[in-house]
Amino acid sequence: MQPPLFELRDVTLSRAGTVVLRDVSSDIPEGAVCIAGPSGSGKSSLLRLLDRLRDPDRGEVRYRGRDVRTYDVLALRRAVSLVPQLPALVEGTVADNVEFAARLAGRSPDVGRVLGQAGLDASFADRDAERLSVGEQQRVMLARSLAQEPDVLLLDEPTSALDEEARESVERTLLRLRRELDLSYVLVTHDPDQAARMSDWCLRLALGGTVTGAGPLAAPEAARA
């Protein structure tokens, strides 16, 4: 039997003396998964445990049946690629950013194709990354991750800084990637409607970082379409 994508076992995490996750235990399956809960429930911190940007104070995190600490941490982060809440690109053009990410993973990217997967026209390649709109920058962040050909995308509220139109567009892109590339993603959101639209399984956290529920949802809208 295939192990779950991720397993969390009695995970506790503190930051600056405050407990942000308390005894969290749950499996996270493959597919379109969300971690939902109010602000301050430890969603983003939990996401960072999955690619070892943080380590828990106590407990164990497993990826495909193995403790994440037994993987080469850099290889793990290229396989389990996190897209942060706000764009944070390196200086240079859009192509520089995509190529930088690809080189880290030992890939030679087709920049135009990767931009297309992230919903950007190939003409963006030569544009200065810092001069793009927030929505466009967020798509470049997604393109960087896709250039590494990851197994899993970790998405930390990727639409929270976007307007309605840009949010819908990014959501459509993610659902298309899920369908076309069979790419699993773990999406952090505080919006229950987005959780319903974007995921077929959800882990719910409450303030104080405790689990209030975990289980399947109805299939995401685009998957149903």
Partner 1 sequence: MTAPIDVSYAQLAATLALVAIAIAVSIWVHVDLERDIAVAVARSFIQLSAVGLVINVIFDEDRLVLVVALITAMVLFGALTARNRARRVPAAFAPLLVALAAAGGLTLVLVVALGVFEPEPRFLVPVGGMVVGNAMTAAAVALNRLGDDMRAAAPRIEATLALGATAAQAALPVVRSSLRSGMISLVDSTKTTGLIFFPGTMVGMLLAGADPVDAVRLQLVLLYTLLGSVAIAALIATSLAYRNFFTPAHQLKDLPA
Q: Least distance to partner 1 from the beta carbon of 78, Å?
A: 4
Pairwise CA distance, residues 151 & 114, whole Å: 15
Task: Pick between residue 105 and residue 195 the one whose CB is nearest to partner 1.
Answer: 105
**Interacting residues with partner 1 between 16 and 75 (CB under 8 A):** 16, 51-55, 73-75
Q: Least distance to partner 1 from the beta carbon of 212, Å?
A: 26
Q: Are 51 and 154 in contact (CB under 8 A)?
A: yes
Task: Pick between residue 13 and residue 34 the one whose CB is nearest to partner 1.
Answer: 13
Question: β-strands 210-216, 66-67: how paired?
Answer: unpaired
Q: Which residue from 195, 212, 214 is spatially nearest to 203, judged by alpha carbons?
A: 214
Q: Least distance to partner 1 from the beta carbon of 85, Å?
A: 9
Task: Pick between residue 158 and residue 220 the one whose CB is nearest to partner 1.
Answer: 158
**Interacting residues with partner 1 between 73 and 102 (CB under 8 A):** 73-78, 81-84, 86, 88-91, 100-101
Question: β-strands 6-15, 66-67: how paired?
Answer: unpaired
Q: Which of these ranges, 4-12, 58-66, 138-146, 214-222, lies near partner 1 under the rule CB under 8 A?
A: 138-146
Token pair 């969300």: residue: 34
Task: Pick between residue 4 and residue 84 the one whose CB is nearest to partner 1.
Answer: 84
Q: List 63's β-bridge partners, or say none.
A: 6, 66
Task: Pick between residue 22 and residue 54 the one whose CB is nearest to partner 1.
Answer: 54
Site for partner 1 contains 167 (CB under 8 A): no
User: Strand order in 18-28's β-sheet?
Assistant: 18-28, 6-15, 58-63, 66-67
E strand map for the chain: 6-15, 18-28, 32-36, 58-63, 66-67, 80-83, 152-156, 184-189, 201-206, 210-216
- Pick from 24, 36, 105, 195: which binds partner 1 (CB under 8 A)? 105
Token pair 């956290």: residue: 205
Q: Least distance to partner 1 from the beta carbon of 59, Å?
A: 16
Q: Least distance to partner 1 from the beta carbon of 62, Å?
A: 16
Residues that bind partner 1 (CB under 8 A): 15-16, 51-55, 73-78, 81-84, 86, 88-91, 100-101, 104-105, 141, 144-145, 148
